[in-house]
Structure 1
């Protein structure tokens, strides 16, 4: 199954999709080659004859690479299990070239739970590292160089992964632990900004070491940490702003849509006049979904005058005027509709799309105005 942002689904865990990013498929052969080279070097240092390595080194290298990413998956699963138990919500787990990412759409509310949720990942990696090293130690010494070295290598990589993730470089696990410890004294926004600045400082340090040692991978990690810290801080600011706003303060008031019995050609004209990617589809003034310009244009022009909107209606994603805007953002992120329908007592009163949200955020950032003073929708509601 094809996933979002260049990934595909390989399975699920507790109903949460597990995705593989295409970058991981590209890097696996390279890692197999690099880890296979390490096998050859280790065998030479240990004075093990090539015929005693036991299998092609590149295949052992591939096994180490797969074992590493399986360990990363277990690391992310540990985050997910604790997040769900603490009342959080997780949309997906994605494995990619830089490791794994658990997309937590709703963080646990208590700072203590965020600390523990972040901590269980590195502890899982450290525990796996210990288990792999113990398994390597228990294998018989003669004639088992390849499996012993593979287990030792995967174990060492897990120990490094666990220790590295404890570095307080936000948004890595260590940075989240730092933020969770600061929230009680600073509040979420200030704690996030502080953890983000620490993360950026660590990123600059990583970059300096990477350039000094000619290590492009460390420089790449520095870039990811810096941009991740910036993005996380911005997301917390967005949430702080949008949780204080009601949908009716940012929506575009709208009382009519495109009737489901209208032709697709009429719908095309209405959508273009509205300068929106989509419009609500209504039946006797009751919204039943939305119709998208992209869908209409896929129908041959000669057929648009004969076919109706009813054939192209997509299911509605609905919010209330009294909902806070963060609820609307989450619904847009999860369902990815071009717009949300704002309903009051079953009747259409407005729509919300990305332009509305961007305009609200731009206004707040440019003016610094207290969002609680923004006007609310005062127009007469339909009876």
Structure 2
């Protein structure tokens, strides 16, 4: 789903996912419909007792629902800023913070593999939530007893909910904060990939448990969170394994170095025939001056009706802004670039000069090879080992 950028904090883009906009009215309704239940909890922590009957009169429940829901996601934003500020102190850039149906997500430009850095970055979020809970709790003693009951209720509710979220986030359900802390502790004395596999397996266990508890107790949101944890744990484990397999591999190690190109005036019919002869499904496109003009693939040619293939040219169907990388680009970064652009190949350049192309198939073939034979022993590794590189 799409996300809308609503501003920047500490030069970090803040985005709201469409899923949150769809979920907010439901959250408001849930809060408004359980005022009496929450009132018992609020009165247990607040020095000033609130009358539940006053809070349920007229439009008051809906006002409480709106203010509390907004306050909750302000707390989620501050939670993510806690992660972000700590990461920035370690030199890790933050691409964005997105608020969505399951809370928040601070997207880092590079996930730390140093266990101590991950530990403190992961811990910063729950610590921020606990601090918010403490601030709201202390505020209850500063608010006069004559203040509106709605204000006292919302502040007390935010104290309770922020503490609850902090405790919930500390569950070792990778990739939640507690799961990341768990992985960091595991990574102190074992390989990062192994630590991730153990944390992911634990995360999937908690995900299944959340789904079962949610279904048995008619708590659909908890079941959805459990499903997300289960899927995300497996996905991140696969990404970490993939990154490790491609650790010392660059674009120039895998690219197709032949200089096969096509011109912008080549017809679709001629190109299809050439693809059949070359057993290739994509080519860089050069203009009349020999400069890169785009990239054409079999998928684009398929959209041309057979009757028009002798008159439609490559210039009409090519991608005019193809994804490009340099020869030094790590192979894992190439995969990320392919995912971001939705393309099946990238053009590889050296000093703005076309060197070749690199597609998904070449990277997958290399991964299959490495997984089949395992990493080469140290003595068999070629001397010209490419430098390490990560996304």
TM-score range, shorter chain: 0.7 to 0.9
How far apart are 1:199 and its partner, in Å?
A: 1.7
How far apart are 1:208 and its partner, in Å?
A: 4.0
1:361 counterpart = 2:367: yes
- Selected match of 2:17 from 18, 21, 36: 21
Distance 1:106 1:41, change over 3 A: closer
Counterpart position of 1:160: 164
Counterpart position of 1:230: 234
Distance in 2 of aligned mates of 1:290 and 1:374: 34
- Selected match of 2:292 from 271, 287, 296: 287
Distance 1:312 1:168, change over 3 A: same
Counterpart position of 1:331: 337
The residue correspondences of 1:1-383 to structure 2 (distance < 5 A) are: 5-40=1-36, 47-50=51-54, 56-260=60-264, 262=265, 265=268, 269=272, 279-283=283-287, 284-291=289-296, 309=315, 314-334=320-340, 337-344=343-350, 346-365=352-371, 367-370=372-375
Gap regions ≥5 residues in structure 1: 376-383
Distance 1:291 1:73, change over 3 A: farther
- Can you list the C-alpha shifts for 1:259-302, whole angstroms capped at 9, x where unaligned? 34x26757975897578786322244443543567778999998
Q: TM-score, normalised by structure 2?
A: 0.79
Structure 2 counterpart SS, 1:184: coil
Distance in 1 of aligned mates of 2:274 and 2:11: 37
Distance in 2 of aligned mates of 1:52 and 1:212: 29
Name the count of aligned residue pairs: 370
Over aligned residue pairs, what C-alpha RMSD do you find?
3.6
Contact 1:200–1:229 under 8 Å retained in 2: yes
Gap regions ≥5 residues in structure 2: 44-49, 383-391
Counterpart position of 2:46: none
- Can you list the C-alpha shifts for 1:126-183, whole angstroms capped at 9, x where unaligned? 1111112222332222352111101111221111111111111111111111211222
Q: TM-score, normalised by structure 1?
A: 0.81
Counterpart position of 1:380: none
Distance in 1 of aligned mates of 2:30 and 2:139: 23
Structure 1 counterpart SS, 2:187: helix
Contact 2:55–2:149 under 8 Å retained in 1: no
How far apart are 1:205 and its partner, in Å?
A: 3.2
Contact 2:35–2:55 under 8 Å retained in 1: no
- Can you list the C-alpha shifts for 1:50-78, whole angstroms capped at 9, x where unaligned? 48868531122011111111211121122
Contact 1:245–1:371 under 8 Å retained in 2: no
Distance in 1 of aligned mates of 2:8 and 2:269: 43
